[in-house]
Amino acid sequence: MEQEQVFWERVLQLAKDNLKQSAFDFFVSGARLVNINGSIVTIFLDSPFKKLFWEENMKSVMLTAGFEIYNEHLKTEYQFDPVSKEEKIVQDNNKPFQNNSQQADSNPTYLANTPFTHPDIKPQYTFDNFVQGDNNQWAKAAALAVSDNLGGLYNPLFIFGGPGLGKTHLLNAIGNKVLLDNPHARIKYVSSETFINDFLEHLRLNDMDNFKKTYRNLDLLLIDDIQSLRNKASTQEEFFHTFNALHENSKQIVLTSDRNPDYLDNLEERLVTRFKWGLTSEITPPDFETRIAILRNKCEIYPYEFTDDTLAYLAGQFHSNVRDLEGALKDIHLLATMRKLTEITVDVAAEAIRSRKQTNPQNTVVSIDKIQTEVGNFYGVSVKEIKGAKRVQHIVHARQVAMYLARELTDNSLPKIGKEFGGRDHTTVMHAYNKIKTMLAEDDQLEIELTTIRNKIR
């Protein structure tokens, strides 16, 4: 380990030992060692007012570490301007993975303690706040596995699914996890649009060497919305070489797309073939319970109570997109702030999201009638039989599927659904819902049946 880093780690250790955790978090964790020049240590602080704290409380720590590591009386200076973004990118790209012993002395570097900031990775998207459900558990597991073993079995990892289902979130979560474990990992996150623009810009400036250097010397390339590369022949060509260079060196690639690789028309076959070399994982829309769990997770930051009814109501309004759920919470926040509300009832929620619902074609209101009719058509059972009392197996199955879909696709309460099914009790609806849900987990055929029916309903 380089001596500067040994010194800095000793400083952090001594600070931790001597300060209260809260003081350490606030005054020390954002600090960085810029460099040590002769006997002058330069420290970056993210705010000038923290300097006083350092002068008063960190003096003995700095002295101790200086004598221990350099056997010298070091003087401390402070700096408050962060390094420019460009400079930082260059440094990141030059940093060898898991090995910071080769950093050039002439090149001042921040020896970061966590959290480490990265120019293109969003710190707010982590595994911790990614709510797991049946719809995304495999994608999440694969993403976690990749973060723990870059360039291993799942290379590339290809995640696909509809808009607003958490693909970008997972990509960033991988980046954040890898950075946390290895602050010096060379990572790049780009949307395909950015990749195209970057490529064209470097081409225009006749600077392809730098482009290659940036994209081929990585430990992890996270590339979002790969479907956007369609019809961009020259960019695809370049991406092909980037892919090969990374893959041959066992460097990890993670891609996302709005569709299955098999449906990536207008993308070169040789690329698509490569996308399927590793692991392909789909994210589907979250079911009702997962939508509730996501809402619960996201509404924690707001200073008012959401009743359970409200959460169930919201989960019933937006089926196919987590972004819409978040949007709904923002609408509610606006209204709640204006009216200084302390509790969010169904009425308030309904009022807040009214305009969002009207502008969202995906959320056309589905009626229980329509569900009963389409389920009946599919299984060859009449609506009367669905509502009736007969206990013949295929009728019971159709009835339970219809109840399940009524809970999934409408915002009706359980008692209301029960009423629409010949005046049944709400516990019967709950039982049907759970039963179908359990069956779905084991029965692919049923999943296909439900998808077919859903498509008829919408």
Nearest approach in angstroms of CB 427 to ligand ADP is 29
Given the complex with Mg ion, which of 318 and 379 has the nearer CB atom?
A: 318
In the complex, least distance from residue 137 CB atom to ligand ADP, rounded to whole angstroms = 10
Shortest distance in whole angstroms from residue 202 CB to Mg ion = 24
Contact 67, 11 (CB under 8 A): no
Among 168, 172, 257, 410, binds Mg ion (CB under 5 A): 168
Distance, CA of 292 to CA of 429 (rounded, Å): 18
- The answer to whether 167 is a known ligand-binding residue is yes
> Is 376 annotated as contributing to ligand binding?
no
Please give the size of the binding site for Mg ion, defined by CB under 5 A.
2
155 counts as binding Mg ion under rule CB under 5 A: no
Nearer to ligand ADP, 331 or 374 (CB): 331
Contact at 8 Å (CB) between 195 and 163?
no
Strands (E), 342-423: 343-344
Q: At 44, is the secondary structure helix, strand, or coil?
A: strand
Q: Which does 421 bind (CB under 5 to 8 A by kind): ligand ADP, Mg ion, none?
A: none
Please choose which of ligand ADP, Mg ion, none residue 197 contacts, taking the beta carbon within 5 to 8 angstroms, the exact cut-off set by kind: none
Any residues with CB less than 8 A from the CB of 207 and at least 6 apart, and which? none
Comparing CB distances to Mg ion, the nearer of 50 and 167 is 167
Q: Which is nearer to ligand ADP, 34 or 294 (CB)?
A: 294
Q: Please answer whether residues 342 and 304 qualify as being in contact, where contact means their C-beta atoms are separated by less than 8 angstroms.
A: yes
Q: Is 337 left (phi over 0), alpha (psi -120 to 50) or beta?
A: alpha
175 belongs to an annotated ligand binding site: no
Distance CA 187, CA 122 (A): 13
- Closest contact distance (angstroms) between CB of 434 and ligand ADP is 22
Looking at the DSSP bridge assignments, the partners of residue 36 are 41
Instruction: Answer with the entry of ligand ADP, Mg ion, none that 280 interacts with (C-beta below 5 to 8 A by kind).
Output: none
Nearest approach in angstroms of CB 195 to Mg ion is 14
Question: Which range of residues in 109-117, 164-172, 347-355, 394-402 is near Mg ion by CB under 5 A?
Answer: 164-172
Nearer to ligand ADP (CB atom), residue 131 or residue 246? 131
Residue whose CB is less far from ligand ADP, 219 or 225 = 225
**Interacting partner of 227 out of Mg ion, ligand ADP, none (Cβ under 5 to 8 A depending on kind):** none
In 3D, which of 323, 124, 119, 135 has the Cα closest to residue 222? Answer: 119
Q: How far is the CB of 90 from ligand ADP (least distance, A)?
A: 28
164 binding partner (options Mg ion, ligand ADP, none; Cβ < 5 to 8 Å by kind): ligand ADP
Q: Which is nearer to ligand ADP, 166 or 175 (CB)?
A: 166
Q: Is 278 annotated as a binding residue?
A: no
Asked if 206 and 238 count as a contact pair (C-beta separation under 8 A), the reply is no
Q: 192-198 contacts: CB < 8 A, separation 24 or more?
A: 192/223, 192/224, 192/225, 192/226, 192/227, 192/228, 192/229, 193/225, 193/228, 195/223, 195/229, 195/235, 195/239, 196/228, 196/229, 196/232, 196/235
| 8 touches, from ligand ADP, Mg ion, none (C-beta below 5 to 8 Å by class) | none
Can you give the binding site for ligand ADP, defined by CB under 6 A?
A: 125, 129-131, 136, 163-169, 294, 322-323, 326
Contact 224, 189 (CB under 8 A): yes
Angle, helices 444-457/393-409, rounded to nearest 10 degrees? 60
For strands 279-283 and 75-79, give the pairing. unpaired
Identify the helix (H) or strand (E) that includes residue 77.
Answer: strand 75-79
Cβ proximity to Mg ion: between 167 and 399 the closer is 167
Q: Name which of Mg ion, ligand ADP, none residue 27 binds, using a CB cut-off of 5 to 8 Å depending on partner kind.
A: none
Q: Please tell me whether residue 293 adopts helix, strand or coil conformation.
A: helix
Residue 146, both tokens = 């990749």
Binding partner of residue 165 among Mg ion, ligand ADP, none, CB under 5 to 8 Å per kind?
A: ligand ADP
User: Residues forming the annotated binding site?
Assistant: 164, 166-168
| Site residues, Mg ion (CB under 5 A) | 167-168
User: Residues forming the annotated binding site for ATP?
Assistant: 164, 166-168
